[in-house]
């Protein structure tokens, strides 16, 4: 069994503490990973502070070139990253491969943004007092950023914090999920070949309770958190003086009206609901189908859900594998059971074997059921019907979450009505809410988050505006 050191202070280090990283599918221990304690965290913050000073002195060209080297390094070691994601996260290799390609694109896009991320001219002579003067702004890096990432995208969600942080001239400390730290550590290896200051990225697996030490530490200028709404909002409340970006949970619905392409909407909804066992914050959880096509649409959807191949995540044919751990699968089993006890009907699935939970479709649900009101984060989807389009929008808005929503319709007026009235950070027309490209603004409203990710938008969060007026 391999022992993995962690990256802080510009080099790989051993510590006295270890966590076991287990493959959720095979239940084999992949590695014993060192974890940081309070002493290592203090050293990392101190090193990051010095690295931030060095980053501010680098030219746009130097940073852009370094980010391109990171992208090239991921591409060169693509097979290692794919296997790491598939093994530690039990993510089917077809999806692990897509995640690696996205991470490569993320760093390449960040390389370009590093060159064109500028301020603006401010016309201060619009008032008499400004005659003869010129003003302009510049985006300046905040300094040290602390990033916290979850298990479900162990590379690309790390990339979405690291790439914009470096592109905008910051240093960043990443706390990866304790369940999936190996991929983040592999990214650390690639980073060290980029030529950037060695402590500009540090990867510190650690106990969550240690994070409280950063709340009052003035050297940490920003916290970027991806995870549950419960944890995220508590974190923001405990760090009121810091810039905080929260990318939190979702309960993503899809609306399918009578003009929609049935086959396309079924195929995309199956993908959106069951990819990576639904363990995605924009996974499809509720589907509202017009009553005139409800029966045929649901029949096709259930048929395709049943046909998903279950198995080893390293098998190219596998489309659904184990959940991250048995606790997650048991929670799913409990919530589905509670729904059935209260009148919900199972159209397929509803069974658990260890860490595996079968793709499950429910109907005849009610808003107070947890499978409807909360984020399930599992391969469970609710299908209900509506008569009027406006009714479907009301149904979609009843959740406390608001990350992304999908709408399948050929009616332009309904597209506009959906955009104007759906309370979500992103409205995806004729595709599922699971759609994301890495340069678009990404974030939610209501309980789904605060601020935006997506390269340039994250860079705006990670920098401050500085004004100069000269005359």
101 Cβ partners below 8 Å, 6+ apart?
none
Asked if 384 and 358 touch (Cβ cutoff 8 Å), the reply is no
Q: For Cα atoms 458, 64, 61, give the angle at the middle one, nearest 5 degrees.
A: 125
Cα atoms in the 13 Å half-sphere on the side-chain side of 382: 29
Which whole-number Å values give the CA distances from 401 to 232, 338, 408, in the listed order?
13, 21, 20
In this structure, are residues 142 and 222 in contact, taking their beta carbons and an 8 Å threshold? yes
Output the six-digit token pair for 60: 């746009």
Residue bearing tokens 């944890």? 231
SS3 229: helix
DSSP characters over 249-313: ---EEEEE-TTS-HHHHHHHHHHHHHGGGG-STT-EEEEEEETTTHHHHHHHHHHHHHTPPBS-T
Which among 88, 113, 198, 247 is annotated as catalytic?
247
Check: CB of residue 37 under 8 Å from CB of residue 15: yes
Return the H-helix or E-strand segment holding 12: strand 11-13
Note if 281 is an active site residue: yes
Long-range pairs for 230-233: beta carbons < 8 A, 24 or more residues apart: 232/449, 233/447
Cα torsion at 373, 374, 379, 384 (round to 10°)?
10
Smallest CA-to-CA distance from 359 within 253, 274, 268, 266 is with 274
Alpha helices in 58-92 (DSSP H): 60-76, 78-89
Q: Given 198, 281, 375, 384, which residue is catalytic? A: 281
Q: Would residue 327 show up in a list of annotated catalytic residues for this protein? A: no
Residues acting as catalytic residues: 247, 281
């Amino acid at each position: 069994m391999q022992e993995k050191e962690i990256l802080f202070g510009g080099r790989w280090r051993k510590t006295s503490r270890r966590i076991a990283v287990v493959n959720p599918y095979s239940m084999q221990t992949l590695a014993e990973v060192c974890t940081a304690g309070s002493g290592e965290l203090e050293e990392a913050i101190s090193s990051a502070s010095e690295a931030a000073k060095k980053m501010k002195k680098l030219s746009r060209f130097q940073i852009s070139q370094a980010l391109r080297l990171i992208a090239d390094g991921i591409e060169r070691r693509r097979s290692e990253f794919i296997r790491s994601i598939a093994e530690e996260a039990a993510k089917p290799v077809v999806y692990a491969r897509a995640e690696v390609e996205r991470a490569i694109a993320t760093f390449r896009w960040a390389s370009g943004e590093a060159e064109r991320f500028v301020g603006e001219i401010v016309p201060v002579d619009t008032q008499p007092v400004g005659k003869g003067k010129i003003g302009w702004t510049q985006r300046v890096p905040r300094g040290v950023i602390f990033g916290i990432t979850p298990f479900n995208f162990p590379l690309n969600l790390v990339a979405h914090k690291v790439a914009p942080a470096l592109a905008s001239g910051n240093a960043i400390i990443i706390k990866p999920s304790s369940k999936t730290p190996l991929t983040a550590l592999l990214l650390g290896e690639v980073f060290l070949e980029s030529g950037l200051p060695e402590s500009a990225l540090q990867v510190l697996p650690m106990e969550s309770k240690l994070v409280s030490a950063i709340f009052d530490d003035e050297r940490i200028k920003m916290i970027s958190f991806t995870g549950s709404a419960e944890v995220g909002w508590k974190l923001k409340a405990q760090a009121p003086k810091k810039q905080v970006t929260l990318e939190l949970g979702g309960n993503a619905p899809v609306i399918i009206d009578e003009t929609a392409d049935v086959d396309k909407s079924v195929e995309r909804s199956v993908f959106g609901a069951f990819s990576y066992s639904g363990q995605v914050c924009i996974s499809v959880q509720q589907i509202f189908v017009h009553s005139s096509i409800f029966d045929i649409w649901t029949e096709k959807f259930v048929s395709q859900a049943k046909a998903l191949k279950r198995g080893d995540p390293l098998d190219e044919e596998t489309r659904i594998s184990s959940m991250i751990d048995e606790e997650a699968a048991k929670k799913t089993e409990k919530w589905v059971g509670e729904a059935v006890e209260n009148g919900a009907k199972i159209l397929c699935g509803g069974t658990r074997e260890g860490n595996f939970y079968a793709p499950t479709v429910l109907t005849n649900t009610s808003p107070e059921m947890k499978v409807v009101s909360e984020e399930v984060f599992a391969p469970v989807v609710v299908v209900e019907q509506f008569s009027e389009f406006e009714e479907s929008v009301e149904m979609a808005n009843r959740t406390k979450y608001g990350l992304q929503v999908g709408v399948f319709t050929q009616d332009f007026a309904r597209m506009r009505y959906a955009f104007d009235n759906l309370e979500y950070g992103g409205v995806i027309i004729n595709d599922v809410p699971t759609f994301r490209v890495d340069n678009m603004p990404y974030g939610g409203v209501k309980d789904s988050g605060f601020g935006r990710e997506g390269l340039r938008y994250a860079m705006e969060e990670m920098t401050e505006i500085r004004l100069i007026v000269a005359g």
